[in-house]
Structure 1
Amino acid sequence: MVSRIPLCDPAERRFAQNPATIMPVETETITTDRLDRRIMSALQFDGRASFRRIARALGSSEQTVARRYRRLREAGILRVVVLPDPRASRESLFVRIRTAPGAAAPIGKALAGRPDVSWVTLAAAGTEVLCSLRIDDPRDRDDLVLKNLPRLSQVTDVSTATMLHIFAGTGLQEWQGFDARLNAQEIAALGARSRRNVPVHEPGLTPDDDALLAPLAADGRISFAALAAATGRNESAVARRVEALLERGVLFVDVEVAHALIGFRAAATLWLTVAPADIHRVGSEIALHPEVGFVGAVSGPASLVVAVTCRDTADLYRYITERLAPITAIRQHEVTVTVRNLKQAGTVMDGDRLPRL
């Protein structure tokens, strides 16, 4: 069961009672070349693929790929993690919290400190917090949504949407906004694994797996030898267990990209209303858009929630009017522009950077 962590510690409460305006952060752009971006694209298909396999697919050398990966990782641009699949949780929620001006930052920061919250963004010019909450015990949901949040005077509204389905399976359904995406032959050469649905009849994580989770969440590319040393277990046993959990879809490999650092500064969450008969078709189609990093079917007024990242607001406008507009099954849409990412894939952001190893 997830340990209960209060929404705000005393320091956060004091900050929330006297909110300051969220000041825009000057974002550094780090130069990446075509090979850097092709390596990132390859990792989206299989974040644990060996440097040798990636080099062979891209026509480069193993040493070059390894060196480029380390540079991207040390710059806070790229991070590979292995996490429990949220679809294995009893329930996953999107929580939208509207606040008084300036109060979103401390509330978002407190939410980012909860282990059951996987990502947090500030939106709507700093008056809205969006977060994803994984629930194994309904009391955690009730404590947060029904008790803790409504008690904060700076919170003006709380709404939730239950995750019904995640459209994911291959790297084609991950964010691929790079201008150096892999072709079909290169993708085949990678031999990447697909992300499976989690069958309800299959066993999930056991208490014996707990020791594996922290090292994998810190570095999803950790070797089995290092993982065995960290857990005090036999290397072959560790390898068999991790591979089995990945194969069954209990764990999944997530590749996080600090988009702002490579020039993609317009992120948004789209809430789309679609007729029930069209939800799966439309969700599957949108998941293949290079600009899209996540698509899920949800409960509530909207049918689909979509995370999209573009270079700038003009690019975002073109995506909405040129890519989404032809999908006539979309009856209504709402756009929530992201101000700042506070947490991605269970990792608290270091400004615009992903934390370094």
Structure 2
Amino acid sequence: MTTAPTRIRTERPVIALDPVDAALIDLLREDGRATFSDMGNGVNLSGEAIRHRIDRLERAGVIKVVGSVSPEVLGFETFALVAINVSTSATAVAEKLAEFPAADFVVSTAGEFDILVEVVCRDDDELLEVLDSIRAVPGVQQCRTFLYLSFDKYVYDESSPTGLGGARRLGPGTQQAPATLDEADLTIIRALREDGRASYTDLAAISGMTYPSARRRVLRLRESGVLHINTIVNPLVLQRRVQAGIGVKVTGNIRAVAEQLHGMPEVGMVLTTSGPHDLMLEVTCRDKADLADFVGSRLRSIESVSATHTYTYLHIHKLAYTWSGLT
């Protein structure tokens, strides 16, 4: 729902990185708020040169530095995937659904369903309201809801040998709230979700605090585990990838299967759900042939996996790098 490879919408061309770019990305993965000067010392360039490099990488869609915070910290406790069939243009319906604040992710797919929508709600009552609103959208013909029961994996491994890399949003339950979050905390969180490298001067101005106070707030939020600064690296820009959602039916121990899937580098998400799929996965593969091999061979070779349904992503209409609809 905090950070992506992550689901990343892009129509930008594939670009090449030089060794300095790659080194900067590694430094930003270690600390998304590292100073230009410190990074410059690491690659023997001036701070101003580093500023231009990072600006170019961000404008090209290669990286995005964002603040991530668990929705549970903000009082959101109900999560679901809504699978939708339409009787009209899937693009038109998907763009309408992308306007819903509760919709964290909207994608057109190839497969049994035309559109998948991930929704984040405060409770079951709000989920019911959202589902009613989705059904009321012109062109929506059928909805099937997969309620998330547990988050067995919700992060991409940056050291993946496949080279898929990239920071995925942190999953629910991975962050702890401090005793209280006041309006200044929430203001800072909102700003850092948009720009994880926002200056302390800017954060002080928007929160109405002094520079030292704003800096202390950010450090406290990070040290408490509420706020993480993540550098999202977009492999879909660097080299074309194929992403898909996969529904898995299990005949044995669901947890045991989830544990095996957790170690597969292609798998970025493993969710236990209610409904016809016991597990929902999100995978990233090098190409369609690699996806076919993953589903037809590696996934089906797991004992107790009895059936799979693949929903290949065609176009991502909404992707929040963080839980953008919250607060």
TM-score after normalising by structure 1: 0.70
In structure 2, the residue matched to 1:114 is 100
Match of 2:194 among 218, 223, 246: 218
**Aligned mate of 1:93, from 80, 85, 91:** 80
**C-alpha spacing 1:331/1:90, structure 2 compared with 1 (3 Å):** same
| Distance in 2 separating the partners of 1:275 and 1:49 | 48
Greater relative CO (CA pairs within 8 A, separation 6+)? 2
Give the Cα–Cα distance (whole angstroms) in 2 for the partners of residues 79 and 334 of structure 1: 32
SS of corresponding position for 2:157: helix
The answer (yes or no) to whether the contact 1:125–1:339 under 8 Å persists in 2 is no
Give the Å deviation of 1:254. 4.4
Pair 1:244–1:166, CA change in 2 (3 A): farther
Q: What displacement does 1:312 show? A: 1.7
Of residues 167, 174, 183, the one that matches 1:197 is: 174
In 1, distance between residues paired with 2:183 and 2:130? 26
Say whether residues 1:84 and 2:69 are aligned partners: yes
1:170 Cα shift?
7.1
SS at match of 1:157: strand
1:144 Cα deviation from its structure 2 partner: 2.1
Give the 5 Å matches for 1:130-279. Answer: 130-145=116-131, 147-167=132-152, 172=157, 177-178=162-163, 197-198=174-175, 203=179, 205-274=181-250, 277-279=253-255
Provide runs of 4+ in structure 1 moved above 6 Å: 52-56, 173-176, 193-196
Aligned length: 307
| Amino acid aligned to 1:298 | T
CA drift of 1:203 comes to: 4.2
Q: 1:47 to 1:96 in 2, by over 3 A?
A: farther
After superposition, the Cα gap between the structure-2 partners of 1:288 and 1:46, relative to the gap in structure 1 and judged at 3 Å, is farther
Quote the offset at 1:38 in angstroms. Answer: 5.8
Are residues 1:294 and 2:277 paired? no
Task: Encode CA deviations 1:31-82: one digit per residue, 9 max, x unaligned.
Answer: 33455456546655654455677778xx734657655432220112221221
Any conservation in 1 of the 2:108–2:114 contact (CA below 8 Å)? yes
Does residue 1:314 correspond to 2:272, yes or no? no
Deviations 1:71-121, CA, capped at 9 Å, x for gaps = 22011222122133134422112111111252x222221222233222211
Instruction: Give, in whole Å, the separation in 2 of the partners of 1:30 and 1:271.
Output: 33
Q: Is there any run of 5+ residues in structure 1 with no aligned partner, and where?
A: 1-24, 183-192, 349-357
SS of equivalent to 1:300: coil
What CA distance in whole angstroms lies between the structure 1 residues aligned with 2:267 and 2:56? 25
Deviations along 1:260-291, whole A, 9 cap, x unmatched?
32222311111223357442x54344344333
Gaps of 5+ in 2: 1-9
Match of 1:12? none
* Aligned mates of 1:242, 1:53 — CA distance in 2: 19
Kindly indicate whether the alpha-carbon contact (under 8 Å) linking 1:116 and 1:133 is maintained by their aligned counterparts in 2.
Answer: yes
Change (3 A) 1:293 1:178: same
RMSD: 3.8
Equivalent AA in structure 1 for residue 241 of structure 2: R
Instruction: Flag the 1:197–1:305 CA change in 2: closer, same or farther, 3 A.
Output: same
CA deviations on 1:127-186 (whole Å, 9 max, x unpaired) are 6221221112544322221x222234522211122223334587627977527x79xxxx
* Cα separation, 2, equivalents of 1:124 and 1:293: 19
Contact preservation (8 Å) 1:117, 1:346: no
* Inter-CA distance 45–295: structure 2 relative to 1 (3 Å threshold): farther
Q: What letter corresponds to residue 135 of structure 1 in structure 2? A: C
Work out whether residues 245 and 310 of structure 2, in 8 Å CA contact, stay in contact via their aligned partners in 1. yes
CA contact (8 A) 2:36 2:50 kept: yes
Give percent identity, aligned residues only: 26
* Separation in structure 1 between the aligned mates of residue 18 and residue 205 of structure 2, nearest angstrom: 36
C-alpha separation between the residues in 2 aligned to 1:91 and 1:164? 9
Post-superposition offset of 1:335: 0.8
TM-score normalized by the length of structure 2: 0.76
